[in-house]
Amino acid sequence: MVRLPFADRDQAGRLLGRRLAELLAGEPVVVLGLPRGGVIVAAAVAAELAAPLDAFVVRKLPLPGRPELAMGAIAGGGVLVWNDAVLRRHRPGPAELDAVVERERAELARREAAYRGDRPPPELAGRTAVLVDDGVATGATARAAARAVRALGPARVVLAAPVVPVRLDLSPEADSLVALAAPDPFGAVSGHYVDFRETTDEEVRRALAR
């Protein structure tokens, strides 16, 4: 039985890694962390699995005036996913949508350069790609990441996070979803951690260099 809240991302990652080690025993695995906070969780997961670690950059498209609410997400390879329920409810205008997408595409490119530099994407063919975040709320970011990773040809895609909403369904983008806790009501991801301070670019680079 997992007790909430988690102390921090590292503790959550170690617990998640132990769960994944039981489920993925014998499979060739590559762990991909979603920056920024997801990379810290992923580093602990990769250590538990003795698996290679890399970052996979994806950006939430925040609703104008409600930055905590994802109206969609983008990832590498031109992947764009909209959260139709949020768009129907709040109805942002076309100019607002275009401005958010343009801004977040620029930040996605900056982060890819900052974290990966000239390194090529990880080789995923024939391997299980484990996408790790520090939590999943709407699922928009996770869906965009899974679609982009799927295009790289892994044997299968596993989405893993310490905490997710109880009724979250990420099929068909992911072959499976692994979580330690699915509270109901859910609230914000940050509410399930004691220490959920913002992760810096330098912390991401250090985690990837381990």
- The string of pLDDT tens digits covering residues 40-87 is 999 999 999 999 999 999 888 999 999 888 898 888 878 888 889 899
How far is residue 64 from each of residues 106, 131, 205, measured CA to CA in Å? 17, 27, 30
Q: Would you say 42 and 31 are in contact if contact means Cβ atoms under 8 Å apart?
A: yes
Its sign, for the CA torsion 4, 180, 33, 23, is positive
| pLDDT tens column, 4-48 | 999 999 999 999 999 999 999 999 999 999 999 999 999 999 999
What structural domains does the chain harbor?
A: 9-58+120-208 (3.40.50.2020), 60-115 (3.30.1310)
Give pLDDT, residue 16.
98
Task: Give the contacts of 138 (CB within 8 A, at least 6 positions apart).
Answer: 69, 70, 83, 86
Q: 59-62: long-range contacts at Cβ-Cβ below 8 A with a sequence spacing of 24 or more?
A: 59/104, 59/105, 59/107, 59/108, 59/111, 59/141, 60/104, 60/140, 60/141, 61/100, 61/101, 61/104, 61/140, 62/100
How far, in Å, CA of 49 to CA of 31, rounded?
9
- Here the tokens at position 98 are 């275009």
| pLDDT tens column, 164-205 | 999 889 988 999 999 999 999 998 999 999 999 999 999 999
Give pLDDT, residue 1.
61
| pLDDT tens column, 113-164 | 999 888 887 889 999 999 999 999 989 889 989 988 988 899 999 999 999 9
Write down the pTM of the prediction: 0.88
